[in-house]
């Protein structure tokens, strides 16, 4: 497949140049995917998909054209190439555009992003893997009346990129995500929770652990209470930080948002925004990282970018366009979730350097406070204000969890969030694009009722 993708890319470049393109880029992917969903104890969906496609970008002067095709058929790609050149001819010029990346060296070979065993799994074996998680959850819940759902997503991807400026590269990767989501009813209460794992390798997925922890989390969430409004410290677990940082924080470091003046961190470069013991990097070369890759979606070499060092904001995340506009080095953060998308800026693996202690240790050191296990809210990008509903969390008093909370909001500005980090745990988890331990924030406004 690799050579086939490269050959098609070479054809794209030759065809586009004949049509008048001055620069050409071909981005080709082949993705095989198994998706399984269990609902109400039965298999709701079990699908095997194979998605292939080619995205083409062309440049004429300062004008760009973009087109894609959902096949790798030669005639379809020729038609898309013609469309991309035509769009470049008639589009408006972008005077900030400089060039596609130029790189003629060798890309790094990354360890642990491709698992041959994952490529060999059958649909039957995948169903069995998910059902093991469901069964473990049932066993842990015992006689509890429960509705258990679960999902498994397995992806095997081969990607190649080639442009007319001698940039050329390819890689393969695998990704597996398994989740179990139980809902239980007791006398006067109902609770739902979930647990999941995501990994590059099949052997690191433990369905029994996922099922047991999902069941325990759900049982612990029964009979929630409201609490009195107060200013309290908050523990954010890795799961809470996964969504908060992946969706909310990543946008604040996005150089495009910075250059448009839309980020609350726009004027904070080289400023102390967190305690000296806080360190955050975007590491696209992390071994086994869920978003590790040898090059970005424009073919620029991946790297480890130190975003916050000793509490000081040192770098934003760039692609080739924003880097040239700012006259700064490209950080290699061009990204596409599909060949159907124009490149955008996104993090790879956001890594927070761990501190000391388990989650239990952090709880034990807290007098009164809130433990936020997860939230699906994000801060306002322009102001940094965060109002986060605690989707699952607990009230802590005298260093012990007392009961789950309900209808509880955490209010804090993200500048205060960073400045207020008092403890960093060592309970690191790798979840989607965030690799983080739990963090303790000194004080946030807690509203409950």
Q: What is the mean pLDDT of residues 8-35?
A: 97
Same domain assignment for residues 232 and 210: no
Residue numbers of the domain that contains 387: 224-449
Residue 434 has pLDDT above 80, yes or no: yes
pLDDT at 104: 85
User: 159 — phi, psi (to 5°)?
Assistant: -135, 140
Give the tens place of pLDDT for each residue, 387-429.
Answer: 999 999 999 999 999 999 999 999 999 999 999 999 999 999 9
Consecutive H or E run containing 358: none
CA distance 331 to 96: 18
> What SS3 state is found at 140?
helix
How many helices (H) and strands (E) the chain has is answered by 11, 23
Question: In sequence order, which residues have a C-beta less than 8 Å from that of residue 75 and are 6 or more positions away?
Answer: none
CA distance 367 to 105: 55
Question: In sequence order, which residues have a C-beta less than 8 Å from that of residue 402 and are 6 or more positions away?
Answer: 394, 395, 396
pLDDT at 165: 96
Same domain assignment for residues 148 and 264: no
Cβ atoms of residues 203 and 121 within 8 Å: no
Its sign, for the CA torsion 210, 212, 215, 221, is: negative
Residue 249 has pLDDT above 90, yes or no: no
Quick one: what percent of the chain has pLDDT higher than 70? 100
Same domain assignment for residues 214 and 174: yes
Length of the chain: 449
pLDDT at 247: 82
Residue 343 has pLDDT above 90, yes or no: yes
Cβ atoms of residues 361 and 425 within 8 Å: yes
Residue 382 has pLDDT above 90, yes or no: yes
Consecutive H or E run containing 327: none
CA distance 116 to 139: 32
pLDDT at 188: 87
Same domain assignment for residues 301 and 191: no
Same domain assignment for residues 331 and 200: no
Give the tens place of pLDDT for each residue, 129-167.
Answer: 999 999 999 999 998 889 999 999 999 999 999 999 999
Cβ atoms of residues 319 and 57 within 8 Å: no
Give the tens place of pLDDT for each residue, 200-225.
Answer: 999 999 999 999 999 999 999 999 99
pLDDT at 248: 81
pLDDT at 96: 94
Give the count of beta carbons closer than 10 Å to the beta carbon of residue 70: 14
Same domain assignment for residues 82 and 52: yes
Q: Which of the listed residues 187, 220, 253 is the one where a domain comes to its end? A: 220
Q: Which of the listed residues 195, 220, 245 is the one where a domain comes to its end? A: 220
Q: What is the mean pLDDT of residues 236-252?
A: 92
Q: What is the mean pLDDT of residues 361-366?
A: 96
Same domain assignment for residues 282 and 308: yes
DSSP state, residue 246: I
Q: Which of the listed residues 169, 200, 220 is the one where a domain comes to its end? A: 220
Cβ atoms of residues 49 and 334 within 8 Å: no
User: Is beta strand 350-352 parallel, antiparallel or unpaired with respect to 434-436?
Assistant: parallel
Q: What is the mean pLDDT of residues 178-184?
A: 97
CATH value at residue 198 = 3.30.2290.10
> What SS3 state is found at 16?
helix
Same domain assignment for residues 254 and 141: no
Residue 363 has pLDDT above 90, yes or no: yes
Question: In sequence order, which residues have a C-beta less than 8 Å from that of residue 100 and are 6 or more positions away?
Answer: 23, 25, 57, 59, 163, 164, 165, 167, 298, 299, 320
Alpha helices (H) in 294-338, listed in sequence order: 320-326
Cβ atoms of residues 220 and 402 within 8 Å: no
Same domain assignment for residues 136 and 251: no
Residue 1 has pLDDT above 80, yes or no: no
Give the tens place of pLDDT for each residue, 310-328.
Answer: 999 999 999 999 999 999 9
Same domain assignment for residues 251 and 344: yes
Residue 274 has pLDDT above 90, yes or no: yes
pLDDT at 2: 80
Beta strands in 91-142 (DSSP E): none
pLDDT at 154: 98
Same domain assignment for residues 389 and 429: yes
Q: How many domains does the chain have?
A: 2
Residue 117 has pLDDT above 90, yes or no: yes
Same domain assignment for residues 340 and 306: yes
Q: What is the mean pLDDT of residues 184-192?
A: 91
Quick one: what percent of the chain has pLDDT higher than 90? 94
244: left (phi over 0), alpha (psi -120 to 50) or beta: alpha
User: Is beta strand 168-186 parallel, antiparallel or unpaired with respect to 189-192?
Assistant: antiparallel
Nearest to 200 by CA among 124, 287, 295, 301: 287
Give the tens place of pLDDT for each residue, 73-87.
Answer: 999 999 999 999 999
Cβ atoms of residues 370 and 439 within 8 Å: no
What is the DSSP code string of 89-100?
HHSPP-TT----
DSSP 3-state percent helix, strand, coil across the chain (nearest 5): 25, 40, 35
């Amino acid at each position: 497949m690799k050579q086939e993708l490269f050959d098609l890319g070479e054809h794209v470049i030759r065809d586009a140049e004949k049509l008048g393109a001055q620069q050409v880029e071909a981005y080709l992917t082949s993705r095989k995917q198994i998706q399984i969903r269990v609902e109400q104890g039965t298999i709701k969906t079990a699908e095997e998909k194979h998605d292939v496609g080619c995205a083409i970008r062309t440049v004429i002067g300062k004008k760009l054209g973009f087109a894609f095709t959902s096949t790798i058929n030669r005639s379809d790609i020729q038609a898309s190439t013609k469309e991309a050149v035509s769009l470049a001819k008639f589009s408006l010029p972008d005077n900030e555009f400089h060039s596609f990346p130029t790189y003629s060296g060798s890309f790094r070979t990354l360890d642990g992003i491709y698992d041959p065993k994952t490529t060999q799994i059958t649909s039957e074996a995948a169903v069995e893997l998910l059902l093991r998680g469901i069964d473990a959850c049932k066993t842990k819940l015992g006689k509890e009346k429960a509705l258990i759902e679960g999902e498994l997503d397995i992806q095997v991807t081969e990607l190649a990129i080639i442009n007319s400026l001698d940039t050329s590269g390819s890689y393969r990767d695998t990704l597996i995500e398994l989740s179990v989501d139980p809902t239980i009813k007791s006398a006067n209460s109902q609770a739902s929770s979930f647990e999941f794992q995501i990994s590059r390798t099949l052997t690191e997925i433990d369905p029994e652990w996922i099922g047991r922890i999902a069941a325990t989390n759900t049982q612990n969430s029964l009979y929630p209470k409201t609490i009195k409004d107060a200013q309290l410290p908050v523990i954010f677990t890795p799961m809470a930080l996964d969504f908060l940082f992946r969706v909310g924080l990543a946008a604040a470091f996005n150089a495009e948002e910075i250059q448009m003046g839309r980020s609350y961190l726009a004027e904070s470069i080289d400023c102390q925004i967190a305690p000296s013991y806080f360190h955050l990097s975007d590491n696209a070369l992390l071994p086994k990282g869920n978003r590790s890759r040898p090059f970005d979606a424009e073919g620029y070499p991946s790297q480890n970018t130190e975003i916050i060092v000793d509490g000081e904001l040192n770098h934003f995340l760039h692609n080739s366009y924003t880097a040239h506009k700012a006259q700064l080095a490209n950080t290699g953060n061009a990204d596409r979730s599909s060949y159907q998308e124009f490149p955008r800026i996104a993090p790879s693996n956001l890594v927070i350097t761990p501190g000391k202690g388990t989650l239990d240790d952090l709880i034990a050191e807290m007098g009164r406070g809130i433990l936020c296990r997860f939230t699906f809210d994000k801060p306002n990008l322009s102001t940094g204000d965060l109002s986060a509903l605690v989707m699952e969390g607990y009230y802590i008093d005298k260093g012990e969890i007392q009961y789950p909370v309900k209808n509880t909001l955490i209010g804090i500005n993200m500048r205060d969030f960073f400045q207020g980090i008092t403890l960093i745990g060592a309970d690191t988890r790798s979840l989607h694009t965030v690799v983080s331990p739990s963090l303790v924030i000194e004080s946030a406004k807690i509203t409950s009722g």
